[in-house]
Amino acid sequence: MNKEIQVPALPEANQKATLAALHVSVGDRVAPEQMLMDIETDKVVLEIVAPDCGYVTAIHPAVGDKVRSEQIIAVLTPLPEAEKKQLLQAADPKPSYGQLSPFQPENAATKSQPKADSYFPIQLMLGLAAGVMMMVLFVWLV
């Protein structure tokens, strides 16, 4: 059974919009959540996505045409089950747990320990600030 894709319900102030861009053409095979087209109102651009797998069998308006709220703008013909499974597997590959990841943590033996010198500038600045404050306090008290 063919699926009709409609313009989403637009607010009362914006009952008309413009078809801004097409991302597919008639005859293309689409996956769920794949972008089909953009519809532009005076305030927002709406992305129309495919609700399911299928072939795009019709696109009614052309780019630049005005569309109204809940107008049918495209028709999808469902894929056969074998093609649908193949498309879904290609779109969402499962991770292979037997392979090594390039983001594995380093071995503890090869990890370098932080050097004491790397903390020196921060310690020096804090020490100098504390020393200056103590000198100011001492001079003020004397």
What string of pLDDT tens digits covers the 142 residues of the chain? Answer: 889 999 988 877 777 899 999 999 999 989 888 899 999 988 888 899 999 888 999 998 899 999 998 899 999 998 888 777 777 777 655 555 555 455 555 554 555 555 555 556 666 677 777 777 777 777 777 6
CATH code for the domain in which residue 71 is found: 2.40.50.100
Place of tokens 């990890």: 111
Q: Collapsing DSSP states into helix, strand and coil, what is residue 131?
A: helix
Degrees to nearest 5, angle at CA 101 with 97 and 105:
120
| Residue 75: inside a domain | yes
Query: The domain containing residue 14 runs over which residues?
Result: 3-91
pTM: 0.57
Are the C-beta atoms of residues 64 and 39 closer than 8 Å to each other?
no
Cα separation, 50 vs 120, in Å, equals 58
Structural domain total, the chain: 1
Structure tokens at 133: 């404050």
Q: Collapsing DSSP states into helix, strand and coil, what is residue 132?
A: helix
